[in-house]
Amino acid sequence: MLREKLKTIFEEFEHDGEFYSFKELASGHINDTYLIITRKKPYFVLQRINHGVFKDVPGLIENKVAVSRHIQKKLNDLSEKKKKRRVLAFAKTKDGHSFYKSEDGNYWNLTYFIDKSVTHEIVTSKEIAYQGGKLLGQFLTYTDDFDASQLTEVIPKFHDMSFRYSQFEAALKVASKERLGQAKPYIKKVEALKEEMHILQKLKESGDIKLRVTHNDTKISNALFNKKDKGLCLIDTDTVMPGIVHYDFGDAIRTICNTAAEDETNLDLVEFNVEFYKAYTKGFLKKMKKSISPLELKHLPLAAKTMIFIMALRFLTDYLNGDTYYKTKYAEHNLDRAKNQFKLIQSLTEKYDEVQLENH
Ligand code: GN1
Ligand code: MG
């Protein structure tokens, strides 16, 4: 029974909580995440890390804990109560480790649930977009002096465009005829965008755009807000690694500015929301003014396009591979996600002038 299993694992960790019940938090595509409801607050979040996707789970958890600790130190001027709401806190196992390995070979980690917090799958107000931008800017500012070389590269080449193209090309060779047929119009788009989609990577490789600690999975559902829409903290730090600012800005915009969910199948509902782009950018730059270079700034619109594209490419690749990576709910789920992201790129492209900073 899942209940018994979760209870047993929860009890391997050091805390005062008494297990009462659990609820699956099902928005992620990779890990299994459960809210552990205790008899008396605080509640907890228990997560099984997918070790098929993440090859070095201990390294991943060390990354998360180290980054949280670093941010924790930056919060010194806040009260203890506020501090707890601004950064994830990890529980240790009874024998002092940051993760528990269960008998079936799975890895688990436990964090304190931030009470009275909410997440958004889609953004419905400018204020949330603005607050989301501030949150990411704050995260990147707090981690600016963290030595990125200390971090394990949990998924090497995670946002590397050439790598994602090579995976796509390999998938074309193994895809079924039927899936190739379904994907055909999108395969053409992938080819047409190839050069433009490598611009940021080239700037990174030349050193013109610097490496920082980046979150790498900044979709809006990975941000916690309070019930008055104020941003609290970024969660799901599984993929913190060295990267460029564009990864985080672009991936956030991908979900902030989509007027529909990532897998909405009615593409008429999928539009790029320029007002939210402006609000997010305003919040982001409020925190990043001092640390963003003119070259980084100039490429923010391209970051949005590139990160929407890289997700389209990854969803399409997984569809061609027969759905081996992302969790899917039905056969065409990955294709629908890819179509959705391509529609978003089209909408952004039509409005590209409006998102350039000089037109804000
Ligand atoms: C995956 O599992 P989740 O939902 O946190 C993926 C991200 C994608 C996202 C798309 C390790 O994140 O890169 O942006 O799906 N994470 C990994 O929603 O591949
Ligand atoms: Mg994630």
In 3D space, the residue among 110, 63, 114, 120 whose CA is nearest the CA of residue 87 turns out to be 114
How close is the Cα of 94 to the center of ligand 1, in Å? Answer: 30
Residue 159: both structure tokens together: 């946002």
pTM over 0.95: yes
Which residue has the CA at smallest separation from atom 7 of ligand 1? 217
Task: Provide the pLDDT for residue 360.
Answer: 85
Q: What is the pLDDT along the chain (360 residues), one digit of tens a residue?
A: 999 999 999 999 999 999 999 999 988 999 999 999 999 999 999 999 999 999 999 999 999 999 999 999 999 889 999 999 999 999 999 999 999 999 999 999 999 999 999 999 999 999 999 999 999 999 999 999 999 889 999 999 999 999 999 999 999 999 999 999 999 999 999 999 999 999 999 999 999 999 999 999 999 999 999 999 999 999 999 999 999 999 999 999 999 999 999 999 999 999 999 999 999 999 999 999 999 999 999 999 999 999 999 999 999 999 999 999 999 999 999 999 999 999 999 999 999 999 998 888
Ligand nearest to the CA of 327: 1
Beta bridge partners of 231: 225
Domains along the chain with CATH numbers: 2-115 (3.30.200.20), 126-355 (3.90.1200.10)
Task: Provide the pLDDT for residue 358.
Answer: 87
Nearest atom (ligand 1) to Cα of 28: 4
Give the type of residue at 237: T
User: Using a 6 Å cutoff on CB, does residue 333 contact ligand 1?
Assistant: no
In 3D space, the residue among 293, 126, 319, 298 whose CA is nearest the CA of residue 211 turns out to be 293
How close is the Cα of 185 to the center of ligand 1, in Å? Answer: 24
Nearest atom (ligand 1) to Cα of 236: 5
Task: Provide the pLDDT for residue 14.
Answer: 98
Task: Provide the pLDDT for residue 359.
Answer: 87
How close is the Cα of 30 to the center of ligand 1, in Å? Answer: 7
ipTM exceeds 0.90, yes or no: yes
How close is the Cα of 158 to the center of ligand 1, in Å? Answer: 11
User: Using a 6 Å cutoff on CB, does residue 28 contact ligand 1?
Assistant: yes
Neighbours of 126 (CB within 10 A): 16
Which residue has the CA at smallest separation from atom 15 of ligand 1? 29
How close is the Cα of 238 to the center of ligand 2, in Å? Answer: 6
User: Using a 6 Å cutoff on CB, does residue 30 contact ligand 1?
Assistant: yes
User: Using a 6 Å cutoff on CB, does residue 261 contact ligand 1?
Assistant: no
